[in-house]
Structure 1
Amino acid sequence: GVIDIGTNSCRLFIAEIDKKDNQIDIITPLFKDLDVSRLGKNLNQTGILSEESIEKTFSIIKKFKEKSDSMGVTDLIAFATSATREATNGNIFVKNIKNRFDIETLVISGEIEAKLSFNGNSAIYDEKIATIDVGGGSTEVTIGSYENIEFIKSFPIGVVKLTEMFFPEENYSEETLKSSRSYLKGFFTELDKFKDSNFKIIGVAGTVTSNVSVFKKLPKFIENEINKFSLSKLILEENLNLFLSKNLEERKKIIGLEPNRADVIIAGNLILLTLLEVLGKDFIIVSTNDNLEGGMVLTI
């Protein structure tokens, strides 16, 4: 079992694996679950993980541990990402996970986080790809092939951070939207050299999957309806306009959008659209393989 302790959500993946000669292969994926923790809420302002967010995350980890035990999991580890590595009390948080639940938690760097998502997909696509993982506190971009990674970086901006920086009061005015797009474009200037290069963009995590669910009006997550879907720039723009046309409470009622993502989905679409513009691409192939699969193979 692998638990991903992110900035915005906490996820569990359970699978049967085969270990041979230090090589780990996923034989049978068995179970996935996700719950929104908001671990990184207000981290930008305070520099610490709040007591409320920590307790919410602990309650999710407790649920995941009980599920793992009930399914006979023999190895259960966790990895924590941007919120935990940036918070001044991140080390204490990790020690308390060990004390409370006897789960070893690795605080991974942004580069390793990016590599986990890339490895979850590069074995599937026998060609040059760019994986994009838009998280709560950071956005990981990795470009290359299974044999050769050409670029890998964790950009310290994600849906929670962007929302808190530009839209703390749901103030989605033309001016704030323009300012946020300009800020993001400057943030991703390192990627300019890859514009119009020959590769596919593979998108992972909640922002891309939510956009597919909204477009298809899926009342619940259906993996085979989402995996490998070509999410176009046009769909992202149409969904963005839909989100902007509604207030927060109305967005929570959109079919296909988890209510817990309603306050950060606009920031997610802005990040995705900016990356497509910078890289000169018109669509993203959505993948349900991400750092959970990568973490299962690399870190157990």
Structure 2
Amino acid sequence: MRRAIIDIGTNSVRLLIAEKLENGEWNILSKKLNSTRLGEGMSQQKNLSAAAKERTLRAVADFVNDAKEVGIDDLYAYGTAIFRDSPDGAAFAKEVEEKTQIPLHILSGTEEAFYSYVGAAGSPGALTAVVDIGGGSTEICMGFGNDIGFRTSLPLGCVRCTGQFDMVGARGIGELKKHCFELFSRADEVAAVKRWVFVGGTATSVASMLQEMEEYDAKKIQGFEVNPEDVTDLLKKLFNISYEERCHLKGLRPERADIIVAGVTILDALMEYFAVEKAIVSDRDLQEGLLEADVISPV
């Protein structure tokens, strides 16, 4: 059985195509990404822009066609924070369904946290926290193997916070970190966790930049270890170079150059707040978790 998942996020639209093996595991056949920036100018009081909706609709339609061209009809789309927060998020979801003829489910914050954990955590013999820093929100989910407990979604994301704070000034960095600390207090239950897994575009970009990748290599991202000193040093570097220099930085996709400072600030603040000594980065994330959405769901 083959299945396709389309994840429509605040910053990008992603396609995952996978095949279920006889042992019940999923073999990932392909992944694609289109940075449509649906959440540009993100605000709970602001409707989605016509241009952003058009870019996103086109990307979703292209991915639907890509899936169908390889014979996949088992196709599901999911919306994340931007659909939850925008006044016209639900209406746009209906428009996507009507124009693409595929079902689109808007994930709740706790559902998003749950499936990010399912996709990334694996089956470790240790208490684990999975953190997904996205464009519009950050999800934190804690569990022990398949026993999933605390989970939350916080209004912190690289697109959202780039719009809320001045990311070209030291004061703005400090204000964002203070804001992060205030929100992280809602997740104090995970403070005792020793095994941390980071997923999402900010985390994978950090791993890619630290390895100075010329081209993204999922195998080198999966399991890459980061420590707080490396993240803090990287944040200082990103802050002290221009947007143009960030566009040409090894390991960073140019379309993330304007939002990466906010994303890394959130990651730096999280490692400081929870005293994270080290963490691993996972290329497997929400999409892999959603492959199992028909058989497991949060309770």
TM-score normalised by L of structure 1: 0.92
After superposition, the C-alpha distances for 1:186-234 in whole angstroms (9 at most, x for unaligned) are: 1111233543x24300001111111111111111110111100001112
State the one-letter code of the partner of 1:284: A
Q: Secondary structure at the match of 1:52?
A: helix
Q: Which residue does 1:283 correspond to in 2? A: 278
Q: Answer whether contact 2:130 2:140 (CA < 8 A) is retained.
A: yes
CA deviation after TM superposition for structure 1 residue 105, in Å = 0.3
Q: Answer whether contact 1:18 1:26 (CA < 8 A) is retained.
A: yes
Give, in whole Å, the separation in 1 of the partners of 2:159 and 2:59. Answer: 19
After superposition, the C-alpha distances for 1:45-78 in whole angstroms (9 at most, x for unaligned) are: 6421111110110111122112111221121110
CA deviation after TM superposition for structure 1 residue 297, in Å = 1.1
Q: Answer whether contact 1:144 1:151 (CA < 8 A) is retained.
A: yes
Q: Which residue does 1:189 correspond to in 2? A: 185
Give, in whole Å, the separation in 2 of the partners of 1:149 and 1:161. Answer: 28
Deviates more, 1:241-250 or 1:186-195: 186-195
* 1:215-234 mapped onto 2 (5 Å cutoff): 215-234=210-229
Change (3 A) 1:7 1:122: same
Q: Which residue does 1:3 correspond to in 2? A: 6
Q: Answer whether contact 1:192 1:278 (CA < 8 A) is retained.
A: no
* 1:101-140 mapped onto 2 (5 Å cutoff): 101-140=100-139
Q: How many residues align?
A: 292
Give, in whole Å, the separation in 2 of the partners of 1:205 and 1:149. Answer: 20
State the one-letter code of the partner of 1:257: L
Q: Which residue does 2:247 correspond to in 1? A: 252
Q: Answer whether contact 1:84 1:107 (CA < 8 A) is retained.
A: yes
Question: Do residues 99 (structure 1) and 107 (structure 2) align?
Answer: no
* 1:1-300 mapped onto 2 (5 Å cutoff): 1-17=4-20, 25-44=24-43, 46-167=45-166, 171-195=167-191, 197-299=192-294
Unaligned stretches of 5+ in structure 2?
none
Q: Answer whether contact 1:191 1:279 (CA < 8 A) is retained.
A: no
Q: Answer whether contact 1:2 1:292 (CA < 8 A) is retained.
A: yes
Unaligned stretches of 5+ in structure 1?
none
Q: Secondary structure at the match of 1:125?
A: coil
Q: Secondary structure at the match of 1:289?
A: coil
After superposition, the C-alpha distances for 1:222-271 in whole angstroms (9 at most, x for unaligned) are: 01111000011122112112211212122111111001111111111111
